[in-house]
Structure 1
Amino acid sequence: MANIAQGQWSYASAIKFFSLPFSELMYQAQTIHRENFNPKIIQISTLLSIKTGSCPENCSYCPQSAHYQTGLKKEPLMDITEVVAAAKRAKAAGSTRFCMGAAWRGPRDQDLQNVCEMIKEVKKLNLETCVTLGLLQQHQAAMLKDAGLDFYNHNIDTSREHYDKIITTRTFDDRLQTLEHIRSSGIKVCCGGILGMGETNEDRINMLVTLANLTEPPESVPINQLIKIPGTPLEHADDIDNFDFVRTIALARIMIPQAYIRLSAGREQMSEELQSLCFLAGANSIFYGEKLLTAQNPIPAQDNLLLQRLGLEKQVIS
C-alpha cells in the first residue's frame, strides 16, 4: 500500500504504482478509495458556460480561444436570472455542485462582481458552487471567498515539461500562482488535467506529482480526455490508450487519496465499459448534463442508466 507522506511524492515513487500489473494497481486504488469514500456514491456536478468564446489564451485544445477558427458562437456574460434557472435545473436532475465557467484570461473586477452575485444566488439553492474564470489576483480570490464560493477550478493541464507545447500565452508558474491565491483565501481547489494531448505517461505521472505535492493537494481532481475540436491544433492528436487512461485515474486516487477524482470531459466518446473501469479505479465524480462548456456530454438519462446498472448512487447534500 502507498505509505508516502503528503507532499513527498517523486516520479520514482509514483511510477512504481503506475507500472504495477493492472489488476494489482486497481486493487491498490480501490483499497485506498474505500478507506476514504463510500465506493457506491458518485458526486454529480453540472458545468455551465456563463461567458463563451473570444478568450485571448492560445490553449491548443480549446474551441473558445480567439486564436482558432472553430465556428463557435461568441456569447457575453449571462444574465443572473438565466444562471439561477440553469442551477435549479441542475439540482432537480441530481447535481450537488454547480460550476460556472467564463472564457477569460482573467476576470476584470467589474465582471467578477457580477459572478459573485451569481455565486450568492446559487448558494441559496443549497448547491456547492465552483467557478473557473482564468488567472486570479489575490484580492479577486478574496472577493470570491466573501461571496461564499466553495471551489475554484484552475487546471494545470499537463506536466511542466509538456506545458509549453500546449500553451504559450501563460506559464505553468502563472497557473501555480493562481492556485496559491485560491488556497490562501480559504477556497477549495479543483485542479487536474487533460490526457491525450501528445503527452507521455511520464508527463501524466509528473502532472500528478505536482498536484500531490502542493502545500495542500486539491480537494477535487478532474481528469479530462481530450475532445478533438476541428480548428484547434490538437484536432488530429493520437488517441490515448484506454488502459493508460485508467492507470492515470488509479494513480490519482492513490496519490491524492482524499480528493474527489472527477471523470470529466470526454465521457461522450468513452464506452460504458471504460467509464466503469474508471469508477473501479477510484473516480467518484462526474459532470452531468448534455454540455460541458461547449462540448457534448452524455445525456442525463444515459448516465442514470449506467449508474443504475453499476449499482452506484448519486451523492446527496444533507
Structure 2
Amino acid sequence: MTEIRHDWTKEEIADIYNMPIMELIYKAATVHREFHDPNEVQVCTLLSVKTGGCSEDCKYCPQSARYNTEVDVEKLMPTDIVLNKALEAKENGSTRFCMGSAWRNVRDNRDFDRVLDMVKGVTSMGMEVCCTLGMLSEDQAQKLKEAGLYAYNHNLDTSREYYDEIITTRSYDDRLETIENVQKANISVCSGGIIGLGESTIDRIGMLHTLSTLEIHPESVPVNALVPVKGTPMESNERVEIWDMVRMISTARILMPKAMVRLSAGRTEMPTSEQALCFMAGANSIFAGDKLLTTPNPSFASDKDMFQILNLKPRKAYKEAKHYDLSIS
C-alpha cells in the first residue's frame, strides 16, 4: 500500500522526476491504479465569467491590463447566461464547472454577490462547482462554502525561487495564504502550475515540493503547458515537450496519489497519442470546451472521439468527496 506522505524532500522529488522515463511512467501508473480507475477521466469546463482588465502583471497572461493583447475587457457575465453555459457543459459530459474572473482579489460587492448566486445555481444542477477569482479572505471563502462551492483554484504557477521572474504584483506567500483560507473553509483546493515559463527543472521540482508538503494535499493539481499569447512578454517561448509534461504528471501522481492530476492548458497542441501518454502517467482530469478562459482548447466533440478511441469513461461528480471531508448538501 502506497503511503500518503507530506514530508517529501526536494532531493527525493528530484530522484523521482529524473528517473528513466519508462520506469517513471510505470511507477506513476502503478500508484494511479492503486487509488483511481485508470480508465476514468473527469471532464471539467472552465468559463471566463469576467474577462480582461486585470491589474496583475503575470507575464504569461493575456488578461493583464498591462499588455496589448487581443483580449477585450468585459464585465461580469449575467447569471442566467452562466447557468445556461453550465447546463450545456453538463449535457456534454462535464461534471465540474469552473468559473474564472480576472480579478486580483475578491471584493465584497455586488459582483461577488452575483458570483455566489452563480455558485448556488450550478450546485443545484448536481455539478462540482469550482471558482478561480484571485486572492480570497477567510470570510469570503466561508461565504463561497455556504453557497455550495466544492473547489477553489489558486495556482502557484512556479517555484518560490522563480516566482518573482513571472509576477511582481502579489507574493508567493499571498498565494499560500489564499490556499490556507480555502482549506479552513473546508473547500477542496485546486492548485498546480505552468511549465514553459523559462523555469529550470529545479523550479519544477520546487513547485511540486511546495504542493506535496502542504498539510492537506490539493484535491486537484492542474499541470499546464504554456500557451504563448501574442502581446505578452512570453509570446516567443517555445512549446513544452511532451516528455516534460509526462515527467510533471508522473511525479505529481507519485507525490500526491489521491489528487486529481489535471491535464490542462496546452492540449490543443497534443495529438491523441501524446494525451494518452499523460493519462497513462496518471492524469485523470481534463478541461473540455472550445476555450480555457481566453486560449484555445479542444472541442467537446474531439474529446468525445478521444474518449472513444482510448476507451475512457467520464468520472461522476463528487465521487471522492469523502476523502476530503467535504459536506455535500
Common fold by TM > 0.5: yes
Structure 1 CA distance for aligned equivalents of residues 157 and 60 of structure 2: 10
1:80 maps to what in 2?
79
Report the equivalent of 1:224. Answer: 224
Partner amino acid for 1:160? R
Specify the code of the residue in structure 1 equivalent to 2:154. Answer: H
Q: Helix, strand or coil: the match of 1:109? A: coil
Q: Which consecutive unaligned segments of at least 5 residues does structure 1 have?
A: none
The C-alpha deviation readout for 1:36-65, integer Å capped at 9, x for no partner, is 001110000000100000000000010000
Q: What is the CA–CA distance in structure 2 between the aligned matches of 1:121 and 1:62, rounded to whole Å?
A: 29
Counterpart check, 1:289 vs 2:289: yes
Counterpart CA distance in 1 for 2:2 and 2:246 is 18
User: How does 1:162-311 map onto structure 2 within 5 Å?
Assistant: 162-311=162-311
How many Å apart are 1:114 and its aligned residue? 1.2
CA distance in 2, matches of 1:40, 1:2: 20
- Deviation digits for residues 111-155 of structure 1 (CA, Å, limit 9, x no counterpart): 221111100011111111000000011111111111110000000
> Is the contact made by 1:46 and 1:287 (CA closer than 8 Å) also made in structure 2?
yes
Structure 2 letter corresponding to 1:98:
F
With the length of structure 2 as denominator, give the TM-score of the two structures: 0.94
Alpha-carbon displacement from aligned partner over 1:231-277 (angstroms, at most 9, x marks no partner): 00011113323212211110000001100000011101122221111
Distance, in Å, in 2 between the alignment partners of 1:212 and 1:112 is 31
Which amino acid counterpart does residue 52 of structure 1 have in structure 2?
T
Q: Distance in 2 between matches of 1:161 and 1:245?
A: 21
Give the conservation status (yes or no) of the 8 Å contact 1:198–1:238: no
1:215 Cα deviation after fit? 1.1
Deviation at 1:205, TM superposition (A): 1.1
Equivalent residue letter for 2:86: A
Distance in 2 (CA, whole Å) between partners of 1:178 and 1:15 is: 27
- 1:168-202 Cα offsets, whole Å, 9 max, x none, are 00011110000000001110000000010001111
* Distance in structure 2 (CA, Å) of the matches to 1:295 and 1:237: 15
- 1:35 aligned partner: 34
SS of residue matched to 1:309:
helix
Task: Using the TM superposition, give the Cα deviation of residue 16 of structure 1 relative to its aligned residue in structure 2, in angstroms.
Answer: 1.1
Query: 2:202 is matched by which residue type in structure 1?
Result: E
Once the two structures are TM-superposed, the CA of residue 2 in structure 1 deviates from its matched residue by 6.5
Asked if the contact 2:223–2:245 (Cα under 8 Å) also holds between the matched residues in 1, the reply is no
Please name the residue that 2:11 is paired with. 12
Q: Is the 8 A contact 1:201 1:244 kept in 2?
A: no
Q: In 2, distance between residues paired with 1:295 and 1:248?
A: 22
CA–CA distance in structure 2, aligned partners of residues 125 and 66 of structure 1: 34
Measure the CA separation in 2 of the matches of 1:99 and 1:240: 25
123-132 vs 238-247, greater mean Cα deviation: 238-247
The count of corresponding residues between Structure 1 and Structure 2 is 317
Aligned to 2:325: none
Q: 1:120-135 residue pairs with structure 2 within 5 A?
A: 120-135=120-135
4+ runs deviating over 4 angstroms: none
8 Å CA contact 1:60–1:234 kept in 2: the answer is yes
1:91 matched residue in structure 2 = 90
- Structure 2 distance, partners of 1:290, 1:298, is 6
**DSSP 3-state at the match of 1:83:** helix
1:53 — aligned with what? 52
**Conserved 8 A contact 1:42-1:285:** yes
* Aligned pairs for 1:101-120 within 5 A: 101-110=100-109, 111-120=111-120
Identity %: 50
Gaps of 5+ in 2: 320-329
- 2:61 maps to a residue whose letter is C
